[in-house]
Structure 1
Amino acid sequence: MAKVIMVQGTMSNAGKSLIAAGLCRIFKQDGCRTAPFKSQNMALNSFITTEGLEMGRAQVMQAEAAGIAPMVCMNPILLKPTNHTGSQVIVNGEVLGNMSAREYFAYKKQLIPDIKRAFRKLEEYADIIVIEGAGSPAEINLKENDIVNMGLAEMVDAPVLLVGDIDRGGVFAQLLGTLMLLEDSERERVKGLIINKFRGDKSILDPGVKMLYEKGNVPVVGVVPYMELALEDEDSLTERFDQKEEGLIDIAVIHYPRISNFTDFNVFEQMPEVTVRYVTSISELHHPDMIFLPGSKNTMGDLKWMRQNGLEAVIKRMAEDIPVFGICGGYQMSGYEISDPYQVEEGGKIRGMELLPVVTVLQSEKKRCQTKGKIGMLKGCFHELFECEYQGYEIHMGQTSYMLNNSVQNVCENVISENGKNVYGSYVHGLFDHGNIAYRIVKILAEKKGIRIKDGVFEDYQVFKEKQYDKLADTLRRYLDMEEIYGMLREAHLE
């Protein structure tokens, strides 16, 4: 039977995901078969497994840290927000339907059997399961029928590490306030506190650490410094959107309201002298060397948003001089028309940006698959990408077809371009993560700008990420009491 430990936080973005990933890496380095688990994740960044099932990317990142392939049982429930009050509910990798927040709150208790089955399946593989909570366990208005924080900890009898974010301030109030709002039985599960994202001299913090134990009766098992890591974070609160500086090679990603799977562009961030900026207005766009139109959970709505704030018109003008690349929803927007006969999004039809000779019909069934191959013939500045090998995954509701002599035909290529323009489109997420496609793109942009980039400057992205996981583990080993944490591990007893 697997041993378990759970990482909860005082708030969203306290660092649960990275702490859990670091523990996965440490246990893996120490020879334990380790797997992550999060019963319910809310995210617009998702992944498709080899079986064609959809799960949150946070658990994919943690699985990579643990050195194992992602499995949908690591994240049995995924909520993908469709608007401010509702989400698409995905259970065991397949779409259950759309629900308002109130509808889901009333329904979610029915998903407990799915959570238990997923956990049992993971137990068949793992020696240690590192569980991640969501938000805060002290959200007293949501504690009824909780299935992701203390409710889950009780379900599997997991000891809890509680993480607070000192970088935002008020970490003592965060940790003590959370403990005070827990029930006695819940408080007993909290075996250690972690102060995360600390900057400065720890000796100044020592009196506060002592007082935390005196007032909360729970030991502080680590003060973790602020870490500069290039790993995926919570998509709703990522600091990536704050990047404003422009490097020698400047890449702009349009940050529309329902942006999804922006992890497609993380690979470019680790390249020297390249910046990736997420822009929401004309004033932020400036003069980039390339524009990405990313995925979207509401393609028609986000296209309207670009049309209304003027970004569409500016991007169309810029496409005459710089490459514009649409991925998934951004690819659909780049065509001549998007129609929605099944009311998947907003119904009706909408004119596209008319940059690529394609039309899209939104379907009632989502396409989910992994894919790999070689890029076919391309026109424009990226013609050198011909026959580059790629691998990734598709996850979309639309079927896209070529416009040809007033008729349409199926699109077979996974990357297409427009004659006479530097406009490209693809449904493949992760297109740039493998091989040298990202490197070639940046090299082409540099040559176009008159900048010389030496061959071999860019490290393989997968190798780069492995080093980041090792760096994370090394830091946690130094600043966490791992002997104490190993002593907390408890065999799961699923009710």
Structure 2
Amino acid sequence: MNEKSCAGSGAEQVKETRGFPQGRTIMLQGTASDVGKSVVTTALCRIFKQDGYRVAPFKSQNMALNSYVTPDGKEIGRAQGVQAEACGIPATTDMNPVLLKPMQDMNAQVVVHGKPYKNLSARDYRSGFLPEAKRIVVEAVNRLRNAYNIVVMEGAGSPAEINLKQNDIVNMNMAAWAEAPVLLVADIDRGGVFASIVGTLELLEPHERERVQGFIINKFRGDVALLQPGLDWLEERTGIPVLGVLPYADDLDIEAEDSVTLEQWKGKVLPENDLDIAVVALPRISNFTDIDPLIAESDVRIRYVRRPQELGTPDAVIIPGTKSTMADLIWLKETGLSDALVSYAKEGTVAGICGGYQMLGERLRDPYGAEAEEGAVIDGLGLLPMETVFAADKRTERARGTVIASGLRGTELYDCSVEGYEIHMGRSLPTAADIAAEPLMKLQASDENETDSAGFDGLLHPNGRIMGTYLHGLFHNDAFRRGWLNGLRVAKGLAPLPCELNFAARREAAFDRLADQARRHLNMDKIYRILGAGEP
């Protein structure tokens, strides 16, 4: 941390684990998508860490736009990166060896061990890639088993998706390859929880059913005593124990994996606050967790906007990252949001991150067909004097640097140290020397990744109100975030506030709070016996 950062990270050291068993595995599968597998996995990771085990997360195949860059500059699903943080260890690609990043036209970018492999259709992925994937995922989980006492594995969707079972590498086949007992997670909030559990079991093969060692019912609202007759029936009907009923909680402060969580903002009545910040809810929004630290600030109200009439006159607008900049820029134009943003920017403050930064330029070029048809060119919003050219290779690395734009001299942002990560396929360069736009920051290579990250990043418009950057995680830097917000406050005639929110410490506290809640509602003694690791 630098002298401008708020104090402390709250991170703990991993405890010694001599004498504990090595290479134990346990797997969380679900009756459906979005039942809470990732959160329960994170909770168990933290509990096992607290109990003295060296523990690591694993998900053989993840599909997500919200990704995470490992210390060595590789890309994995964000959920596994967050789970590694809950374990108190650096994330590696072994924790998520196959990542699928959906694109338009039913295609996905296939990322293998952190690097782009190919863009494949669903059909080509199943017929061409999956038959070869077993070796990749088995080798990855075995490396983790050799290095850690416990590997907490996460499935995807449901193991009862009959059409996908033949080439399964993420649910029951993966559990068998890793010798993992399975805990089945079900969401009671969506209704039909008993039918979903029993139905899932009925669709499993006998050897798959034998692997299911317990049920976890998630997102319960109400008195568990009223649910008890149903739990008793379920255990009698299946012969499998219910290991706990977790309460519904929407204030865990754990980073979300999928943009489906943004749906919670629809129709939500937001409290008035000193600062009103609008975030453009792009259809292919990615790494939206960039906004989380702003949500946590006491003087900020975040609104996600999808239509011009929702924009209003906020104190600032943020255009976040996207998996497909060109497609989402076309969407901006078709909805009329592009015109509304250009009009707003005449007097307002705009920040673009990654794909949002690319949109702020004059044009985007795709000579290699990385995002659109080969040779495609599209006009940007024209708010920054630069253009982006998409490359055939992807840049994924961690970076750190210092804000150097002279237009910020005299503000809290000038000379502020920052760190974050880059995930993008475009290169953005200034187009007009006569307009005094300046690089936003000077970057140096990180300690862990001594690659080519040294250089300049981003642009600041001469008016000092419009900026763009490739640096994800920019607002996770406490001093930068507070300095940017204080600039908005001063422009509004409000007094600046001190830097009080330590977001890293807040994250650590959230992991512990999640673990404490899980301990209260899960039968950890039974889980340890299922795991075969003995008592904590």
Task: Specify the alignment match of 2:254 in structure 1.
Answer: 231
Task: Specify the alignment match of 2:452 in structure 1.
Answer: none
Task: Specify the alignment match of 1:384 in structure 2.
Answer: 412
Quote how far apart the aligned CAs of 1:322 are: 2.0
| Stretch moving more, 102-111 or 447-456 | 447-456
Residue deviations 1:335-354 (CA, integer Å, cap 9, x gap)? 01110110111131111111
Q: Distance in 2 between matches of 1:447 and 1:277?
A: 21
Aligned partner letter, 2:322: S
Q: Secondary structure at the match of 2:351?
A: strand
| Stretch moving more, 234-243 or 156-165 | 234-243
The answer to whether the Cα contact below 8 Å between 1:402 and 1:410 also exists between their aligned partners in 2 is no
CA 1:324/1:380 → structure 2, altered by over 3 Å: closer, same or farther? farther
> How many residue pairs get matched?
490
Task: Specify the alignment match of 2:61 in structure 1.
Answer: 40
Quote how far apart the aligned CAs of 1:405 are: 4.0
Q: Distance in 2 between matches of 1:408 and 1:86?
A: 40
Task: Specify the alignment match of 1:423 in structure 2.
Answer: 466
Say which of 383, 401, 404 aligns to 2:432: 404
Q: Secondary structure at the match of 2:456?
A: coil
Quote how far apart the aligned CAs of 1:181 are: 1.1
Task: Specify the alignment match of 2:306 in structure 1.
Answer: 280
| Stretch moving more, 443-452 or 388-397 | 443-452
Quote how far apart the aligned CAs of 1:368 are: 1.4
Task: Specify the alignment match of 1:375 in structure 2.
Answer: 403
Q: Distance in 1 between matches of 2:155 and 2:110?
A: 18
Task: Specify the alignment match of 1:484 in structure 2.
Answer: 526
Residue deviations 1:59-107 (CA, integer Å, cap 9, x gap)? 0110111111111110000000002511000001111110001111112
Quote how far apart the aligned CAs of 1:262 are: 0.8
Aligned partner letter, 1:87: A
The answer to whether the Cα contact below 8 Å between 1:6 and 1:132 also exists between their aligned partners in 2 is yes
Quote how far apart the aligned CAs of 1:440 are: 1.9
Residue deviations 1:137-166 (CA, integer Å, cap 9, x gap)? 111111111000111011111001111111
The answer to whether the Cα contact below 8 Å between 1:268 and 1:276 also exists between their aligned partners in 2 is yes
Query: Is the aligned partner of 1:268 residue 2:294?
Result: yes
Task: Specify the alignment match of 2:121 in structure 1.
Answer: 100
Residue deviations 1:410-442 (CA, integer Å, cap 9, x gap)? 965323211125110000111111231112222
Residue deviations 1:24-68 (CA, integer Å, cap 9, x gap)? 000000110010000000000112222221111000110111111
Task: Specify the alignment match of 1:358 in structure 2.
Answer: 386
Query: Is the aligned partner of 1:22 residue 2:65?
Result: no
Q: Secondary structure at the match of 2:474?
A: coil
Quote how far apart the aligned CAs of 1:408 are: 13
Q: Secondary structure at the match of 1:432?
A: helix
Quote how far apart the aligned CAs of 1:117 are: 1.6
After the TM superposition, which residues 212-231 of structure 1 pair with which residues of structure 2 at under 5 Å, given as runs? 212-227=234-249, 228-231=251-254
Task: Specify the alignment match of 2:482 in structure 1.
Answer: 439
Quote how far apart the aligned CAs of 1:111 are: 1.1
TM-score (norm. length: structure 1)? 0.95
Task: Specify the alignment match of 2:15 in structure 1.
Answer: none
Query: Is the aligned partner of 1:247 residue 2:272?
Result: yes
Quote how far apart the aligned CAs of 1:481 are: 0.1
CA 1:450/1:201 → structure 2, altered by over 3 Å: closer, same or farther? farther
CA 1:290/1:275 → structure 2, altered by over 3 Å: closer, same or farther? same
Query: Is the aligned partner of 1:463 residue 2:505?
Result: yes
CA 1:140/1:408 → structure 2, altered by over 3 Å: closer, same or farther? farther
The answer to whether the Cα contact below 8 Å between 1:342 and 1:363 also exists between their aligned partners in 2 is yes
Query: Is the aligned partner of 1:89 residue 2:110?
Result: yes
The answer to whether the Cα contact below 8 Å between 2:71 and 2:90 also exists between their aligned partners in 1 is no
Residue deviations 1:247-267 (CA, integer Å, cap 9, x gap)? 312221111111111111111
Q: Distance in 2 between matches of 1:438 and 1:205?
A: 45
Unpaired runs of 5+ residues, structure 1, are: none
Q: Distance in 2 between matches of 1:13 and 1:423?
A: 37
CA 1:78/1:59 → structure 2, altered by over 3 Å: closer, same or farther? same
Aligned partner letter, 1:367: R
After the TM superposition, which residues 8-157 of structure 1 pair with which residues of structure 2 at under 5 Å, given as runs? 8-106=29-127, 107-157=129-179
After the TM superposition, which residues 154-165 of structure 1 pair with which residues of structure 2 at under 5 Å, given as runs? 154-165=176-187
Percent identity (aligned): 45
Q: Distance in 1 between matches of 2:31 and 2:298?
A: 35
Q: Distance in 2 between matches of 1:169 and 1:73?
A: 35
Query: Is the aligned partner of 1:257 residue 2:276?
Result: no
The answer to whether the Cα contact below 8 Å between 1:320 and 1:421 also exists between their aligned partners in 2 is no
Unpaired runs of 5+ residues, structure 2, are: 1-21, 440-454
The answer to whether the Cα contact below 8 Å between 1:380 and 1:422 also exists between their aligned partners in 2 is no
Q: Distance in 1 between matches of 2:259 and 2:171?
A: 19
Quote how far apart the aligned CAs of 1:125 are: 2.1
Task: Specify the alignment match of 1:202 in structure 2.
Answer: 224
Aligned partner letter, 2:385: P
Say which of 295, 299, 306 aligns to 2:321: 295
Q: Secondary structure at the match of 1:144?
A: helix
Q: Distance in 1 between matches of 2:58 and 2:306?
A: 34
Q: Secondary structure at the match of 1:379?
A: helix
CA 1:91/1:379 → structure 2, altered by over 3 Å: closer, same or farther? same
Quote how far apart the aligned CAs of 1:320 are: 2.0
After the TM superposition, which residues 298-337 of structure 1 pair with which residues of structure 2 at under 5 Å, given as runs? 298-337=324-363
The answer to whether the Cα contact below 8 Å between 2:385 and 2:435 also exists between their aligned partners in 1 is no
Residue deviations 1:186-209 (CA, integer Å, cap 9, x gap)? 111111101101111111111111
TM-score (norm. length: structure 2)? 0.88
Aligned partner letter, 1:12: S
The answer to whether the Cα contact below 8 Å between 2:438 and 2:462 also exists between their aligned partners in 1 is no
Residue deviations 1:112-138 (CA, integer Å, cap 9, x gap)? 111112112212321100000001111
Quote how far apart the aligned CAs of 1:239 are: 4.3
Q: Distance in 2 between matches of 1:247 and 1:490?
A: 51
